[in-house]
Structure 1
Amino acid sequence: MFLRAMTAVAAFGLGAVAAQAETDVQLALDWKFEGPAAPYFAAIDNGHFAANGLSVEVLAGQGSLDAIPKVATGAYPFGFADINSLIKFKDQNPDAPVIMVMMSYDKPPFAVIGRASLGVSEPQDLEGKVLGAPPPDGAWAQFAPFATANGLDMETIKVEPVGFPTREPMLAEGKVDAVTGYNFSSFLNLARLGVPEDDITTILMADHGLSLYGNGIIVNTDFAEDNPELVKGFLAAVAAGWKDAIADPAAGAAMVIERNPAGDAELETRRLQMVIDANVLTPWVAEHGMGNIDPGRFAASLEQIAETYEFQGTPDPALYFTDAYLPEGGFALD
């Protein structure tokens, strides 16, 4: 169904990419150029892509749902997207040629951000409180399985729909007791609004019962089948870029600011460091390497997704993720 609808676009876009696949490829990000984009620019500036015979253009995005169809149609060979969004997309478009080939955020950024002074430090503290949640928010979409995992009584939590621009200001003003958001964004937004950092509490859902994974590299499967070594080289270069960003976050943030002069170098350095500490360099990654996933945890994540999403087909992990282009044991980041 999906492929029939996009035949003309796919034929043109994928053909154009394949013709240049030996050297020139594009990566569609999920968001604008901020700290977490540093590894890709490090891979460019430090020669990792070039060492793998690649010239890579990185393009900003407007969310994970923006990157997925770009890759699925063949307009871009590579993208960076949330695997939970990919799972739903593939369920609705089973013929779409897109799959994740490298997990980057072993822990997704979905979080509840509260204030200690308002009595919110742990999941159970949310009972009897007011939670601000933008309806389209990715973190809010995962709140139901998070609540189930922590035995929260939703009848006692007042959910206040808020807009993205007003989310953190309402928490800063005490109009809500907590909000849903991304750990590396809401915290920094609150700090910039003058909320003392020791008053800000971040409840990362992955640390409290949520089995879901986060963002990673997706690829057009037709492109990957035609260019397996290129895909392997691309992933190796991205992993090398992550190693550079982990070793020197300030240098990584500077590379981002070079592409986004309106950004704040100090802010993006902090954002990058938060992503590294909370989402990327987890104990599991330290032991097993970056890029792969744990099959048991992934199966559990599909069950959690099914708590709030009705699958049209039978969930199949092989449709959403493959380790075929990863080295055995993943990529060591130390």
Structure 2
Amino acid sequence: MQITRATLLRGAAAALAGLAAPRIATAQPLERLPLTLNWKLQGLHGAFFLAVDRGFFRAEGLNPDIVAGDGSANVVNRLAGGAWQIGLGDIASLVRFNMQNPEKRVKAIYNQTPADLAVVALRGRGITRPEDLRGKLIGAPVGDTAYKMFPAFSAATGVPASALRWEHMAPNIREAMLMQGRVDAITANEGTALFNLKAAGVKVEDMVFLRYGDFGVNIVNIGMMANESFLREKPETVRRVIRAVHRGYAAAIAEPAAALDSLMRRDPLLNRAIEAERLMYSIERMVDQPDVREGGLGFYAEASVQRSIGVIAAAESLTATLAAGDMMDNAYLPPASERRLPAVGRV
């Protein structure tokens, strides 16, 4: 996917000028903010720590306690339980939870990236198209979104899950099992499998991706979310959080090397080269999507959310009715003038 600098320069000067303007500091104590990420530290998480290092949270009167996550489904449960009020998760977990728990919903409030669901194989395994999956052994963690959305892939390709053999495992050994030949293919987010395999020495040209999106299965994916009680009781705090996070994202897009610096300070054992590629992959997907082109960074289009709800509900045989407004709210975003795309910098 090629992103032209001309496209991304649109509104850059105005956006960056607005982002650079310091807010008036308050003498009052900073408000502590527990904030949960979706997974272990990687790539675009650097935007959160860049926001900390540059004082974007402090300018909003906030002292964030940012913790790594262990999967989006657990993030939604954390938020609903009240131990954390705000965090980063995926829409599939959100749709499932909100349909099953209408009395304590969690809502998406800042869009990050579209889903990059895929079936991943290696060259030489005889898999180059969906039909080749028949009879093959597919590795899939039970909580993996690509696995849960496989019925949608089946409906789009005509390859039923029953025509495959399945092996379930912990997420942290999925790519290793593929490399060892213990499974023929895996379900995964492309960005996760791509860089995990690359870090393990697999060449990109030896990877095979059957992308759900190439077969018409397109859903929005990761974004900031919060429980409804927090949104109702502290709307201004939510706006301040999103302002700080947004400034972190915008700064990470414009200066990815700085975001990497902030990430590496939190976990020096990360492979900087791999995380640099993962960051740029995430940035590319974040800025080059229809919703962002329509409404700026962070924006959810109602039609995109409603379409995603339909795909997820059908894939998971969920029968409850859920409108886009039951699970997303753009009211906490900064003004559109501050959400224009900055030019993408270099790592």
Q: Same fold by TM (over 0.5)?
A: yes
> Structure 1's 310 and 150: CA in aligned 2 closer, same or farther, altered over 3 A?
closer
Residue of structure 2 in register with 1:117 after alignment = 124
Counterpart selection for 2:73 from 57, 62, 65? 65
Aligned counterpart, 1:77: 85
Gap change, CA 1:286 and 1:75, over 3 Å in 2 = closer
1:324 match: secondary structure: helix
For 2:320, what is the secondary structure of its paired residue? coil
The percent identity for this pair of structures is: 31
**d(CA) in 1 for partners of 2:160 and 2:34?**
46
- Using the TM superposition, give the Cα deviation of residue 119 of structure 1 relative to its aligned residue in structure 2, in angstroms: 4.0
Partner of 1:132: 139
CA pair 194-297 structure 1, distance change in 2 beyond 3 A = same
> Is this contact kept in 1: 2:117–2:188, CA < 8 A?
yes
**Ranges in structure 1 where 5+ consecutive residues have no aligned partner:** 1-19
Q: Report the equivalent of 1:15.
A: none
Pair 1:93 & 2:93 matched: no
- Structure 1 residues 254 and 124, CA, compared in 2 at 3 Å: closer, same or farther? farther
Q: Is the 8 A contact 2:108 2:223 kept in 1?
A: yes
Q: Which residue, 135, 152, 157 being the options, matches 2:159?
A: 152
Question: How far has the Cα of 1:41 moved from its partner?
Answer: 0.6
Counterpart pick for 1:190 among 194, 197, 203: 197
CA contact (8 A) 1:22 1:230 kept: no
Determine whether 1:56 maps to 2:64: yes
3-state secondary structure, aligned to 1:306: helix
Pairwise CA distance, 1:312:
5.5
Q: Residue 54 and residue 209 in structure 1: after superposition, are their counterparts in 2 closer, same or farther (change >3 A)?
A: same
Aligned to 1:318: 325
| 1:239-250 matched pairs, under 5 angstroms | 239-250=246-257
State the Cα deviation string for residues 266-315 of structure 1 (Å, max 9, x = none).
Answer: 2222222222223x222314512122222223222222222232435322
The question of whether the paired residues in 2 share the 8 Å contact of 1:211 and 1:298 is answered with no
Mapped partners of 1:124, 1:285: distance in 2? 32
Q: Is the 8 Å Cα contact of residues 105 and 227 (structure 2) preserved in structure 1?
A: yes
SS at match of 2:35: strand
Q: Which TM-score applies when normalising by structure 2?
A: 0.80
Inter-partner Cα distance in structure 1 for 2:335 and 2:213: 25
The alignment yields a C-alpha RMSD, in angstroms, of 2.6
Counterpart Cα distance in 2 of 1:297 and 1:156: 31
In the TM superposition, residue 26 of structure 1 has moved relative to its aligned partner by: 2.0
Question: What residue number does 1:26 align with?
Answer: 34
Specify the SS of the correspondent of 2:102. Answer: coil
Pairing partner for 1:332 from 321, 340, 344 = 340
Unaligned 5+ runs, structure 2? 1-27, 343-347
User: Secondary structure of 1:118's match?
Assistant: coil
What SS does structure 1 have at the residue aligned with 2:339?
A: coil
SS in 2 for 1:169: helix
- Which digits, 9 at most, give the CA deviation of each residue in 1:175-208, with x for residues without a partner? 4332111222211222233322211133332343
- Relative to structure 1, the CA distance from residue 208 to residue 222 in structure 2 (aligned partners, 3 Å threshold; closer, same or farther) is same
Native 8 Å contact 1:34 1:268 kept in 2: yes
Q: Which amino acid aligns with 1:266?
A: A
Local SS of the residue matching 1:255: helix
What letter is aligned with 1:304? V
How many pairs are equivalent? 313
